[in-house]
Amino acid sequence: MEKGTFAAGCFWGVEENFRNLAGVTDTKVGYSGGTKDNATYRDVCSGTTGHAEVVEVTFDPSVLTYKDLVKFFFEIHDPTTLNRQGPDHGDQYRSAIFFHSPEQEAIAREVITELQKETRFQTRPIVTQVVEAKPFWDAEEYHQKYLAKQGLKVCH
């Protein structure tokens, strides 16, 4: 099993999308990319931690490649909006790929290069950050698989 960590706005909907993808064996929502240890939702929402809402995805690379996971990530959010997804805004909602190895970094950058050649990204460039994975802090239990617990498929 391998891990991938992605930020694409509110982690509830992002997790639900990844959770239902063939080859994904587990998902966890949490916070990463900032400076505060053991960050909480309240801390992250204050805008002072530098953390993003992220989804840590555990996947079986014999079923789903990391490249396919990255491509899927770009299908489920708008990578051209800085610190905003839908009605959510702030740096905790930024688009980011937190890579766990040099291979993951290379794949993420390769996919971005490929996508930027597509017509849809020629007027609004991709602003997704590609940064080394930092410590991952689990979100509170009520956030884990939130949409599934509520019987919902999407946030908005």
Give the phi and the psi of residue 134 in degrees, each rounded to 5. Answer: -110, 180
Q: Where are the beta strands (DSSP E) in the chain?
A: 2-8, 24-32, 52-59, 84-85, 88-89, 95-99, 129-132, 137-138
Select which of 7, 10, 70, 112 is catalytic: 10
Taking each helix axis from N to C end, the angle separating 66-75 and 11-19, rounded to the nearest 10 degrees, works out to: 130
* Residue from 58, 50, 41, 44 nearest 5 by CA: 58
- 45 as an active site residue: the answer is no
Q: Which residues are catalytic?
A: 10
